[in-house]
Structure 1
Amino acid sequence: MPEETNIVCSRHTIEHIADVQMFARSLSSLITNRERKLFIETPDMDWILDHVAFQDFFYEHCALYTPRAIATLLAQYGMTAKTRPVYFGQYMWTEATLAEASPADGSPAAPSQLPAANPELADAYRQTSERSLHKWHEFIKDRSAAGPIALWGGASKGVTFALLIQSLAGQEPCLDCVIDLNEAKQSCFLPVTGLPIVSPETARQRQISTIIVMNPNYLDEIRDMVERMDWPARIVALNE
């Protein structure tokens, strides 16, 4: 690496790595002076638990992290980390530098030096996640009387949500299609459920009456688009 390099950046990679110790060791080995910074962006497990975002647990992610977990991991390799929320809290952005005094034995930082732990979030999630999923299933069953229902978002959130809902519905079809702006996905299908992925225009032609938005960050944008299309669909979002 060139001597003048002052940033090493890893975005949405660490959650896909099975051997995270190897990955952290490799990243930290590049931070050879205090002027060089390591940036890591990854989903924030605390946000997922706090918002009961059960659709954010999917197979591509080997592990998920809290600010405390990231700080603990990097401290093992002699780094000090500061984390802040980004993407409306769904992700966390960590900036790490060499610690002033790196532990010679690779021991983690003292608990007082790490972000606070939130064990109550996991307890609350265990108590509410299944109930939340069943509420969505009941909502979908009730709204079916008004017409076909579509998910908006054909990425991992949509795949997971569709699978969980279909597992409750059994053989009874409850979702009509998935809307996605990505033209490369349109005319394809979600895995396992086989739901067709369509454009907004096609979904309107299918007379979709209810749209469930997989990511609330896009809710306002989607509402504006649907309104411009003069499409009288009800729009709701997960984790509002």
Structure 2
Amino acid sequence: MDITLAFCNSCGFIYNSSFDTSIDYYTKGYEDQQGFSPTFTKFITEITNRFINKYNVRNKDVVEIGCGKGDFLNLICELGNNRGIGIDPAYLNGRSKPNPNVSFIKEFYSSEHGNLPNDVIVCRHTLEHIHNTKTFLDTIKQSIQTKNEVIVLFEVPSVVRILKVQAFWDIFNEHCSYFSPGSLARLFKTSGFEVLDLYQEYEEQYLFIEARVSQNSSQQIHAKEESVEQLRKQVNEFVLKINHQLNSYKKLFQKLKNENKKVALWGGGSKSVGFLTHFDEMKVIKLVVDINPHMQGNYIPGIGIQYVSPEFLKSFNPDVIIIMNGIYRNEIREILSKMSLSPELICL
């Protein structure tokens, strides 16, 4: 499938103009849980507690759009003694601990869900999968109706980091929309929301926006918003540097191949697909490690490399491990140390 990134010169929105809306990417076996990582669990717990304290999200009704397997919804309801409803066609029963205050609806979000109680609406890592983002936000605004006190929290990958480090592995088919702080804020403001806060976390990989419906058109610019011109400059630099980035990895893989190194990649999901698609013909990486047990045993589509557990590395004894997300380096180093393994680690 082709990916053609286009840039809007009016608002800075970046999107895949070749995105095929007829394909069902999410309802059949889409795996997205991150809660098996202590690093991620610590991060999301801190973020959630901060949000709860900031807006007094206690004993409230929380709706999560695109709730995945329900991890975050259960967390915010547990920490704040809240009631929650998760909406996601890919939700699977039994993947999170039961909570009598939390229920799930296996559907795509629509205007029909506007009657659900909603003091807080959360949408994490879903907007980047939405093709018509403005219509989606309009639907959410209609759901809120006249309840101006409803707090909305969105989280998406930050395209600024992708552009800055030429993270081509974070550009893949399931993501049709890419946001910077500026373009995300402009989208919310043109959709009738007031931006309450805007920030990047997790080594600037994730972009958060907190907002509420505004009866007046908001023109206030948040300190984190970049201009369209600034973002265009970053896009142009990405275009100039990306081929050098790709060539440097090809040279690295050729060197590892010439030295007969045993190479594994750590980190499954779309990142690994996006990365390996460029280098599969070199046949250097033999397996992909992931701590998510629901990934293990499956194969990367179109490539055929199998996802394995960390324990598998005992018998494989790799010389080199490429870490798809460098934020997990210490966690991975600790796992390897417990298995008496000390391969070279290359962090993306």
Q: TM-score range by the shorter chain?
A: 0.7 to 0.9
| Counterpart residue identity of residue 177, structure 1 | L
Matched, 1:213 2:329: no
SS of residue in 2 equivalent to 1:212: strand
The one-letter amino acid paired with 1:181 is I
Residue of structure 2 in register with 1:96 after alignment = 211
Measure how far apart 1:146 and its partner are: 4.9
Q: Percent identity?
A: 27
Aligned partner letter, 1:237? C
Closer/same/farther in 2, CA of residues 72 and 208 from structure 1, 3 Å limit: same
CA-CA distance at 1:101 after TM superposition:
1.7
Structure 1 residue 51 and structure 2 residue 165: aligned?
Answer: yes
Q: Is the 8 A contact 2:115 2:143 kept in 1?
A: no
Quote the Cα distance in structure 1 between the aligned partners of 2:285 and 2:157.
27
Pairs within 5 Å for 1:1-240: 5-31=118-144, 32-81=146-195, 82-99=197-214, 101-102=216-217, 110=219, 113=221, 115-117=225-227, 118-144=231-257, 145-166=259-280, 170=281, 172-238=282-348
Shift, 1:4, TM fit: 7.0
TM norm structure 1: 0.87
What is the alpha-carbon distance in structure 2 between the residues aligned to residue 96 and residue 50 of structure 1? Answer: 26
| 1:167-207 Cα deviation digits (max 9, x unpaired) | xxx3x422111111122222221111111211222123123
Counterpart position of 2:88: none
RCO greater where, 1 or 2, for CA within 8 Å and sep 6 or more? 1
Distance 1:30 1:3 in 2: 8
Give 1:6 deviation, angstroms. Answer: 2.3
46-55 vs 197-206, which moves further: 197-206
Any conservation in 2 of the 1:147–1:207 contact (CA below 8 Å)? no
Question: How many correspondences in the alignment?
Answer: 227
Counterpart contact for 1:140–1:149, Cα < 8 Å: no
After superposition, the Cα gap between the structure-2 partners of 1:146 and 1:230, relative to the gap in structure 1 and judged at 3 Å, is farther
Alpha-carbon deviations, 1:86-113, whole Å to 9, x = none?
Answer: 22211111011223623xxxxxx65x73
Runs of 4+ that moved beyond 4 A = 1-4
Point out the more displaced range, 180-189 or 47-56: 180-189
* Aligned residue identity for 2:338: R
Deviations 1:182-237 (A, max 9, x none): 22222221111111211222123123110000011111100111122111311111
How far is 1:2 from its partner?
Answer: 7.0
Deviations along 1:20-50, whole A, 9 cap, x unmatched? Answer: 1210101122333332111111111111111
- Alignment partners' CA distance in 2, 1:20 and 1:3: 21
For residue 50 of structure 2, what is the aligned residue in structure 1?
none
